[in-house]
Chain A
Amino acid sequence: MVKRLFLIMLTAALLTSCGNTGKKVASTKIGESESGTKVEFASLIANPESYIGKNIVVEGKVVHVCTETGKKLFIVGENPDIRLYVAAGENISKFPMELLGNNITVEGVITRVGGPAIAENSTETKRMCETASAEGETKKMNCETETALADQQSLANIIMEYKTHTVK
């Protein structure tokens, strides 16, 4: 009886850990949707103030997921130099790295912060980026997108508080 139970548990553990290769799924919906308003990325860039506090759905290409915390995801639209910072929250604890390079639609509430979003929202990120060059080239490169956010012309002080996403 005990041997059988352990065998079942071992098989379940192996299936869970090894069977999950993280391969792309054609269309995956994660999180809880409250059906936000569909907004074009260009429209968000042009007039971010009009979306503050609103629950919106926007489509973009995932260009960065924080390798350290997994709590930050950045998407771009037509203009690759303007990134939208999507912050994980109640509905997702961490963004999976497999999203990198995928087109997704993401739903969340747009929030304005006092200064550049990356510095305001996470002192940990700031610390990581500051120490990155000392710790190695990989971390330094990973922080490029995050630091570039502060210099962009639009959405620098805007965060989307994540609710749900769909992989295209």
Chain B
Amino acid sequence: MNFSKLNRVTHRDIGYLIAGMTIIYAISGIALNHKNNWNPNYIFDISTFKSDVKIERVNFTNEEAIKILKNLKLDEEFKTYYFPEGDNVTIFIEGGYVKLNMNTGAGTIEKITRRPIFYQINFLHYNPGRWWKYFSDTFCICLIVVTITGMLILKGRNGITKRGAILTVIGIILPLLFLFIY
């Protein structure tokens, strides 16, 4: 097998092999890029309410918390409660929490669910464990191999010595420009 054929076969087969991973990393990359605009991992279903139940921190008990949940017609299992700061109490329930201002009676119910697909792919993107680290290192090496073999596939005017060279240089200059801008 000559170099050209070996290069093409390597590019093709590794390309197929890492297609899934590339898409996972690309989608979660876009999702995480915009994490200031949305939460890529969880969906927060938030609703507000007004309560006239009088609450005092010193007398507050589990029973009081459950009573508030019943008034709000929440069926979710009660976990515990907590006073974070100031006049607020947080009542934790299965899959979310209720926050209530003891002075004003204003509160929010926040239900949290994992964002389907995105949660899972972002979980992988964040490097969940040692073995995934080795796996993703291998993936990155494969990406380098696919890039280099891809650059060497074509010869002639569309190859790396002519058109390919111009586009490759542009691809290097673009991130460098951002370096200068920032």
Chain A interfacial positions (CB closer than 8 Å to B): 13, 16-18, 20-24, 61, 63-64, 67-68, 70, 76, 80-81, 90-94, 97-98, 100-103, 137-138, 141, 144-145, 147-148
Contacts of A17 in B (CB 8 A): 116-117, 119-120
Contacts of A70 in B (CB 8 A): 41
Contact assessment for B112 and A97 in the assembled complex, using a CB-CB cutoff below 8 Å:
yes
The smallest beta-carbon distance between A71 and chain B, in angstroms, is 9
| B127 nearest CB neighbor, chain A only | A93
Contact assessment for B95 and A22 in the assembled complex, using a CB-CB cutoff below 8 Å:
yes
B11 contacts the other chain (Cβ, under 8 Å)? no
A-B contact pairs, 6 of them (CB 8 A): A17-B120, A24-B94, A70-B41, A97-B112, A100-B92, A145-B84
B126 contacts the other chain (Cβ, under 8 Å)? yes
Contacts of A98 in B (CB 8 A): 95, 112
Give the number of A-B contacts (CB < 8 Å).
78
Chain B interfacial positions (CB closer than 8 Å to A): 35, 39, 41-42, 44, 46, 79-80, 82-86, 88, 90, 92-95, 97, 99, 108, 110, 112-114, 116-117, 119-120, 123, 126-130
Contacts of A16 in B (CB 8 A): 120
Residue of A18, A91, A102 touching B116 (CB-CB under 8 A) = A18
Contact assessment for B79 and A93 in the assembled complex, using a CB-CB cutoff below 8 Å:
no
Contact assessment for B82 and A147 in the assembled complex, using a CB-CB cutoff below 8 Å:
no
Contact assessment for B92 and A101 in the assembled complex, using a CB-CB cutoff below 8 Å:
yes
